[in-house]
């Protein structure tokens, strides 16, 4: 019997028990609550992975979508009113405990579908921390919703509050975007001898408030060309890549069993 909903928090306990008799995969969207320029909502990084998770669950029929984690690591945006963060230790502890809890409830594939770049490394290590306390046949792992994009698609997607994120929000709900305030802004990095991205990375991710200091609006890129049509294409690519991830992960676990 097909569940009446793909969202775990809309199920009754008997419905969840019935689901777990046949299936074992849960998506936990992980995002952020932070400014996204003058035009996009603070919940952008939550809305995008949640929508992709919803689409995958509807298509496959063997996945449930858990409530999203909206407060994570947004230190570069300190200085803006819209910035809400956990300490990295707290964030990793939450991820670890959530993974272990879902595993103990019977889920064997716990996918943290991430929508916020700053979470990437802490999320992966938190999943590793959870592993010793999980059943041997359970696996928690992260996946960024953009990981399946080609280099060309990543170039087209842009950066923070740019054309990609803004377009995807438009595709989900155009009322969430203030189209009259779509803007373009690129960070004001000083001239440097380091020509790779290393200097920018070292400054950006280790400096609280870095985005606040190098932008006026909080936008990093060009959102003026955002459209719902572009957003739908990005959402579709994200959906396809997550489906491929699940298939590849099962194949990898089968071919490299845990010892």
pLDDT tens sequence across 136-184: 999 999 999 999 898 999 999 999 999 999 999 999 999 999 999 999 9
List, for residues 188-235, the tens digit of each pLDDT value.
777 777 766 677 677 777 789 989 998 999 999 999 999 999 999 999
- In this structure, whether the domain defined by 8-255 belongs to CATH 3.40.50.10310 is answered with yes
Left, alpha or beta for 119 (phi > 0: left; psi -120 to 50: alpha)? alpha
Distance CA 38, CA 168 (A): 16
- Of residues 63 and 207, the one with the higher pLDDT is 63
CA angle 252, 133, 56 (to 5 degrees): 45
pLDDT, position 196: 66
pLDDT band, residue 257 (cuts 50/70/90): low
Dihedral of alpha carbons 114, 116, 117, 121, sign: negative
Q: How far is CA 61 from each of CA 26, 106, 245, rounded to the nearest angstrom?
A: 11, 17, 16
CA 128/CA 142 separation, integer angstroms: 10
Per-domain boundaries in the chain? 8-255
Q: What is the pLDDT of residue 254?
A: 86
Dihedral over Cα of 130, 131, 135, 139: its sign: positive
Inter-helix orientation angle 88-104/120-130, to 10°:
40
* H-type alpha helices, the chain: 13-22, 44-60, 88-104, 120-130, 151-157, 163-172, 198-206, 210-214, 228-255
How confident is residue 2, by pLDDT bands cut at 50, 70 and 90? Answer: low
Check residue 203 and give its pLDDT. 77
């Amino acid at each position: 019997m097909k569940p009446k909903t793909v969202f775990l928090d809309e199920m009754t306990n008997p419905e969840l028990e019935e689901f777990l008799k046949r299936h074992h995969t849960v998506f936990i969207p992980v995002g952020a609550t932070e400014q996204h320029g003058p035009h996009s909502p603070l919940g952008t990084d939550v809305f995008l992975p949640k929508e992709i998770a919803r689409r995958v669950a509807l298509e496959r029929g063997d996945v449930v979508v858990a409530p999203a984690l909206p407060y994570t690591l947004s230190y570069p945006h300190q200085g803006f009113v819209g910035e809400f963060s956990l300490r990295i230790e707290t964030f990793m502890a939450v991820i670890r405990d959530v993974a272990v809890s879902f595993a103990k409830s019977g889920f064997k594939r716990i996918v943290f579908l991430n929508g916020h770049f700053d979470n990437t490394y802490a999320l992966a290590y938190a999943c590793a921390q959870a592993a010793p306390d999980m059943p041997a046949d359970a696996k928690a792992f992260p996946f960024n919703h953009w990981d399946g994009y080609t280099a060309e698609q990543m170039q087209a997607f842009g950066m923070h509050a740019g054309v990609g994120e803004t377009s995807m929000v438009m595709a989900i709900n155009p009322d969430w975007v203030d189209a009259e305030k779509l803007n373009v802004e690129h960070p004001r990095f000083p001239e440097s001898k380091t020509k790779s991205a290393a200097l920018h990375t070292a400054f950006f991710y280790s400096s609280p408030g870095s985005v606040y200091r190098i932008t006026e609006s909080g936008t990093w890129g060009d959102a003026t060309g955002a459209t719902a049509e572009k957003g739908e294409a990005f959402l579709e690519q994200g959906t396809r890549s997550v489906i491929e991830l699940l298939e590849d992960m099962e194949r990898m676990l089968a071919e490299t069993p845990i010892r």
